[in-house]
Homo-oligomer: A and B are copies of this chain.
């Protein structure tokens, strides 16, 4: 961040009226009232029930970590599925040591005596410094007094945000297809989603405007929403990627209607090039350029957030490991203070073993190194997406068409038909499914076509989706059925269709091939009936 530029930015506007009643009642632990007396050099503190660090049984902890450049950023070097294995390291990867001693031998060294002691809910100081600098360089928020605060993963983060902003009975805006755990999180808070129509970029600004301007409190049984939950990159489940102009349209509406945006962005760094069929793919060598990689990413809502009404959720789950249970908020200081208070009565600080290992790894890699690591990951997931789609393209006939309705209206959609015997001739003639190759995230959203089934009856969609899901599961493949992701389960599904979400993040190549074989067989049998 250019400090001169920052100086010219204004502070967040007053958004205190968004704080929930529950959150207002949340005071810091009374022990915090002693904080003003603490911190003098030489002070002897006998106030807290803290074990002596000598009694922490670990004298040190360490890890052998992959170097930042372990994964190639050149997708074209990885496109031959025959020569390509994911576990590229074999049994002995090249690694760098990361060690955390119990007691520091240099000032500001990450150490267990601090990391494993009771700590602030804000997290280790070295981690705070890293993420603040990272957010400044990568997200570049548009107001001056933004801050960062650790949480224990985006699910914890989202629960804290919902409890901080929502009173029971309130509704919140979200995409018509969304992350089911977000809805499960809102449920005990007593809050229901208002689904907004989507297109290939995710949430539609025109439908958002329509819903808000026409809000009928009587009919809806709730006040007009003042909170939006959105996954703008690698949208879950659709895989949509939202560009900055759509974000600006939505942001402007949120200013007009005074709405807080919860930007849940676990897949932000998994943005990838558009998919091309193998026959149309051109190979050009890619070299890593950190600034160019960051510039190639669609900007966060923070970049246009001149008022401080965005609470961004970042997680290390997809970039380090889900078991990190570590992530951070970037938001205005008023919200951060309430979110910290809430952390104090739940997890307190995130786990010190995880915090110290991850912090030391990030410090070892440095900002540039972490960006290099992220670039490598993005390419890995791009290669995985390509492999899944290539396998589908080889098993089915994928016909490019123009989407005419629903979330893919106006986009190039691949419609899949069976190849009956491996030849290029069309098969049974039935439309089996449609896809739009995602440009971010971990998921392929598959629209299943039921209206070519000879015995199809409108209204059977959800039942047919689950019948197909069960047949697949019984044949050895589990995908996520579409109904799980319905923003409003009471909404009728798209006529004549069902959905599957297929993750391309985790399987090995031979399993992808097996899964596509099984998928193909189940679809054909289904359409033969």
Known: A64-B58, A155-B345. A46 touches B323 (CB 8 A): no
Distance in angstroms from A165 CB to nearest chain B CB is: 14
The answer for the CA separation of A43 and B515 in the assembled complex, in Å, is 9
CB pair A30 B184 closer than 8 Å: yes
CB pair B48 A503 closer than 8 Å: yes
CB pair A348 B86 closer than 8 Å: no
The answer for the CA separation of A364 and B169 in the assembled complex, in Å, is 50
The answer for the CA separation of A348 and B345 in the assembled complex, in Å, is 16
Query: Nearest CB to that of A388 among chain B residues?
Result: B46
CB pair B155 A348 closer than 8 Å: yes
A337 at the interface (CB under 8 A from B): no
| Across-interface contacts of A318 in B (CB, < 8 A) | 49, 51
The answer for the CA separation of A62 and B100 in the assembled complex, in Å, is 10
A529 at the interface (CB under 8 A from B): no
Distance in angstroms from A317 CB to nearest chain B CB is: 8
| Across-interface contacts of A152 in B (CB, < 8 A) | 152, 346-347, 351
Within 8 A of B (CB), among A411-470: 441-443, 470
Distance in angstroms from A291 CB to nearest chain B CB is: 22
CB pair A188 B22 closer than 8 Å: yes
- Mark the stretch among A205-213, A244-252, A353-361 that contacts chain B: A353-361
CB pair B347 A180 closer than 8 Å: no
A8 at the interface (CB under 8 A from B): no
Q: Which of B25, B46, B88, B325 contacts A502 (CB 8 A)?
A: B46
Known: A34-B478, A357-B353, A511-B44. A25 touches B187 (CB 8 A): yes
CB pair B324 A352 closer than 8 Å: yes
A6 at the interface (CB under 8 A from B): no
A86-99 contact mask (Cβ, 8 Å, vs B): 1 or 0: 11110001010010
Distance in angstroms from A11 CB to nearest chain B CB is: 27
CB pair B236 A323 closer than 8 Å: no
| Across-interface contacts of A55 in B (CB, < 8 A) | 71, 321, 377, 380
The answer for the CA separation of A490 and B156 in the assembled complex, in Å, is 34
The answer for the CA separation of A470 and B501 in the assembled complex, in Å, is 61
A507 at the interface (CB under 8 A from B): yes
Known: A46-B478, A116-B323. A63 touches B60 (CB 8 A): yes
Q: Count this chain's copies in the assembly.
A: 2
| Across-interface contacts of A60 in B (CB, < 8 A) | 63-64
The answer for the CA separation of A377 and B60 in the assembled complex, in Å, is 19
| Across-interface contacts of A181 in B (CB, < 8 A) | 29-31, 344-345
| Across-interface contacts of A44 in B (CB, < 8 A) | 476-478, 507, 511, 514-515, 518
Distance in angstroms from A462 CB to nearest chain B CB is: 13
Query: Nearest CB to that of A64 among chain B residues?
Result: B59
A38 at the interface (CB under 8 A from B): yes
A57 at the interface (CB under 8 A from B): yes
| Across-interface contacts of A89 in B (CB, < 8 A) | 54, 59
Known: A49-B442, A64-B58, A478-B46. A484 touches B352 (CB 8 A): no
CB pair B503 A180 closer than 8 Å: no
CB pair B326 A480 closer than 8 Å: no
| Across-interface contacts of A287 in B (CB, < 8 A) | none
List A residues at the B interface (Cβ < 8 Å). 22-23, 25-31, 33-34, 37-38, 40, 42-66, 70-71, 86-89, 93, 95, 98, 112, 115-119, 152-153, 155-156, 159, 180-181, 183-185, 187-188, 190, 236, 266, 317-318, 320-326, 342, 344-355, 357-358, 361, 373, 377, 380, 384, 441-443, 470, 473, 476-481, 484, 501-507, 511, 514-515, 518
Closest 5 pairs (CB-CB, A-B): A323-B352, A351-B351, A116-B323, A116-B321, A353-B354
